[in-house]
Amino acid sequence: MAKKKEEAPLTGITISKEEDFSGWFTELINKAELADIRYNIKGFVVYREWATITIKKMYAKYEKCLEDKGHMPLTMPSLIPESNFLLEAEHVKGFAPEVFWVTEAGSSGKLAERLALRPTSETALYKMYSLWIRSYKDLPFKRYLSCQVWRYEGKATRPFFRAREFHWIESHNVFTTMEGAMNQVKEDMETTYEMLQDEACIPIIFFQRPEWDKFAGAVHTYAADALMGSGKVLQLPSTHLLGQNFAKPFNVKFIDTDGKEQYGYQTCYGPAQSRNYGAMIAYLGDDKGLVLPFDFAPIQIIIIPIIFKGKETLVLEKAKELYNIFKDEYSVKIDDSDESVGNKFYFWELKGVPIRIEIGPKDIEKSQVVIVKRHDGQKFFVEENELKEFINNLADNYTKEIKEKSFVDFESQIEVAYEKDAAIKAINNGKIVCCGFCSIDFDGEHCAEVVEKDIGGFVRGKRIDEEKHEFATCIICKKPATCTVYIAKSY
């Protein structure tokens, strides 16, 4: 049973994140009113107001980043004809077990062709790409969707981390050469670092996934794993080099500079904003509740009037003055409810509001306010004539401070292992194992199954940046190692 913290007030989180992450996360979602799982279809989650506002902010920032890099938006139907779906054999094999099928409509009964609720959009988009793309002048062709997808997830569902409906962005791109496609994959990885590590303050590392764990129909898959600080990782956006595997069955062609018809080279990229949000709140949150980067907070400044009998009007008027100073630049709220001051403090800390301004009669007499930062609890007494500059400085540096405070260096998380017993010990001690492996092609799949069964982790793949470790043999079969891989538990 989760340990209760005796000093915690009724309005705060009562379960320690360090001692019981699962219980803490569930209580955070419930008490901060982020999601409700009581919708009566299993795996379909209602995202509450506070989470929805932040997710919309995350979408906006991600969409701008993509558009700044040459992507343009599309809106596509949510239904995909089964005939589209069947064109790419590996793709249909990979996704068929997860598809929701629409088979009937209205009073007309069964449909002539089954329609898939979009599990991902390749088979919908590429039919259209074959109509739109004609010449090398149309390339590169870079488009994205902000949409929902549906997959019949068989594992236990959990709000934000794993569900049967999730909210994401997909980008789908076509190039004249494989080199152009691979450069897009590299750009996708850079975008992920910008959006998740710099903006959402989640430390990540990219791995090339093993062949048995790649996107169905891809040449290669490159996936970001969030370093959750406990030896566990959480898969976040992945980018896929598709080559011509979809271009050929979907006839995505162009006329080259010599007048010859060629198949395009394609990529796709899928940042799931619902999962990104879950990773962010799980990683940054503490035993008081949410910690949010400044730009993603639904309310950025909360003003708490400290009311004393006979001074109500004076204090509320001053609170309104402060509100008017900041309302055009930031998201600001005055909490003039009947709750006690203590409960107001705990409530807005739970909600992760970055900056709290306290104002009472004594502060008014001294021409000052009290400022408290959420992420580290620092308190400042600031003179009114310096307030605007002070708040602007806090706002400019708030997210950077969170990132510096919470950053986990990948090297500090790993433990090199040459034998299976050492890997088991490292995994049980909350480490990510670095080891030799026979192959991340299908030849190594049996060894990966042994890793999962005996070591208790998953082969995440080989790192994309510089590899610092080499091994002579595979940690499982003892055949010559062809690569260095990383093993970790995952959420």
The structure's pTM equals 0.93
Q: Which tokens belong to 173?
A: 């791109």
Nearest 5°: the CA angle 215, 219, 224 is 50
Rounded to whole angstroms, how far apart are CA atoms 307 and 305? 6
Residues 346 and 276 in one domain: no
Residues 101 and 215 in one domain: yes
Residues 272 and 420 in one domain: no
Cβ neighbors of 86 (< 8 A, separation 6 or more) are 92
Rounded to whole angstroms, how far apart are CA atoms 431 and 203? 15
Element (H, E) at 202: none
pLDDT score of 107: 82
Phi, psi angles (nearest 5°) of residue 305: -75, 130
List, as one string, the DSSP characters of 220-235. EEEEEEEE-SSSEEEE
Rounded to whole angstroms, how far apart are CA atoms 440 and 460? 10
Q: Which of 308, 279, 321, 314 is nearest to 296 (CA)?
A: 279
Between the CA atoms of 5, 8, 11 and 15, what dihedral angle is there, to the nearest 10 degrees? -20
**Do the Cβ atoms of 278 and 159 come closer than 8 Å?**
yes
The number of residues in the chain equals 491
- The CATH number linked to 331 is 3.40.50.800
Cross-strand partners of 487: 433, 459
- Range of 72's domain? 21-284
Cross-strand partners of 301: 332, 355
CB-count burial class (<10 Å; 0-12, 13-18, 19+) for 464 = middle
Residues 144 and 51 in one domain: yes
Q: If you search the block for the tokens 């011509």, which residue do you land on?
A: 244
Last residue of a domain, one of 394, 428, 455: 394
Asked if residue 16 belongs to a domain, the reply is no
In this structure, how many other beta carbons lie within 10 angstroms of the beta carbon of residue 74? Answer: 16
Q: If you search the block for the tokens 């990383």, which residue do you land on?
A: 486
User: What is the mean pLDDT for each group of 10 consecutive residues in the chain (491 residues)?
Assistant: 46 86 95 95 95 98 98 97 87 86 90 94 95 98 97 84 93 98 98 97 96 95 91 93 97 97 98 96 96 98 93 93 97 95 95 98 96 97 96 98 89 95 96 97 96 97 94 97 96 84
In this structure, how many other beta carbons lie within 10 angstroms of the beta carbon of residue 168? Answer: 21
Last residue of a domain, one of 284, 315, 340: 284
Residues 199 and 280 in one domain: yes
